[in-house]
Amino acid sequence: MKRSQKERMSWLILTLRSYVIFFVLMCFIITCSMLLFLNQMTRVTGIELMEEHIRKAALLTFLNIILLSLLCTVIDAIRRHLLVERPVKRIVEGCQRLMAGDLSVRIHKTALLDPYNGFDTVIDYINEMAEELSKMETLRTDFIANVSHELKTPMTVIQNYATLLQQPNLSEDKRQAYASAMMDTSKRLTSMITNILKLNKLENQTIYPNTQTYDLGEQLCECLLGFEELWEDKHLDIQTDIAEGVQVRADPELLFLVWNNLFSNAIKFTEPGGTVSLCLKTTPTLAVVEVKDTGCGIPAEVGEHIFEKFYQGDTSHITQGNGLGLALVRRVIDIMHGDISVTSEVGKGSLFIVRLERVQDGSI
């Protein structure tokens, strides 16, 4: 049953219960008052005493109503203390602990006293909010720790090579080698910082997609050709099967980040002499891009986290990346309202599949 249905049912039960309680209470007070009044009237033995007994009976009945009202006030005070003040105090204390930074706090429900008092609904939402805040805090802490580690590693490498460059009588070959290593490390550091900034802007929605209709096949070919030097150095076999005239409406710059990361990973993790294939095909409503390689592959447990920030399943290639590329890819695909999935087998390679809505023939 959905929460809204539960809330309507709770409201109906609470209304019926309140009606029954007030009905019984009014019947009790009126009945007691009438019985007391009639009991006084039955003691009248003569007409001459009727008026005096009526006054006495009315006064006694009035005092009885006052007494019953005081009794109801006491009962209501006890009810408010148990069913209102205690839950409110518990909620306030929980919220104060949350504001103080204690995200582990969870407020206990009050269902044992009154399952339909409405406080449990508030408590459920507060507990869910605390749970989400706790997850966000964990992600933030992990993110800071990972960023610190990722920044420290290349900085240490650069410092070490800078120290080596200060050695006297250093040969020209070693000087060039150390300088080249520093350049490569600084490029990886720059790339990581750039990806962090892009990912942060995407997650905070400060980058808004500039959508336009264009040929997806042409973009894929252009991006793949940018890696020609890399695949020739590794003697990779590049296979393509690209459907013609496939139009999509998306932000070309953001999607270029997706293809750039997928092609870079495929070439990076494929051993020399291996194969990288690119396929673009269509369904009645979708453009489907498949990037396949014959690289090291991804274990199943790693595949579940492969799109998380800073997650690197293949530690043997840890110096070649920073674990941000696929997180950036997932975020861009989400913004484009697409879908990305991966299937892989260790030692045989990986297959990334991206699905995007395509522009139908004749559509604008």
Output the pLDDT for position 313.
47
- H-type helices in 42-85, by residue range? 50-80
Whether residue 110 has pLDDT greater than 80: no
| Each residue's pLDDT tens digit, 270-283 | 999 999 999 999 99
Mean pLDDT calculated for residue range 275-297: 92
State the chain's mean pLDDT as an integer: 77
Q: What is the mean pLDDT of residues 52-66?
A: 69
pLDDT higher than threshold 70 for residue 239? yes
* pLDDT at residue 41 tops 70: no
Domains along the chain? 3-117 (no CATH), 144-203 (1.10.287.130), 212-357 (3.30.565.10)
Greater pLDDT, 334 or 195: 334
Mean pLDDT check: name the lowest of 143-147, 214-218, 219-223. Answer: 143-147
Average pLDDT over residues 88-102: 85
Residues 6+ apart with CB under 8 A from 150: 192, 310, 322, 323
pLDDT band, very low/low/confident/very high, at 314 (cuts 50, 70, 90): very low
Q: What is the mean pLDDT of residues 279-301?
A: 88
Residue 121 has pLDDT above 50, yes or no: yes
Average confidence (pLDDT) over 88-105: 84
Lowest mean pLDDT among 78-92, 212-226, 259-273: 78-92
Q: What pLDDT, in 10s, does the model give residues 150-159?
A: 677 778 888 8
Q: How far apart are CA 128 and CA 178, in angstroms?
A: 53
pLDDT band (50, 70, 90) for residue 115: low
What the block records as the tokens of 248 is 């999509």
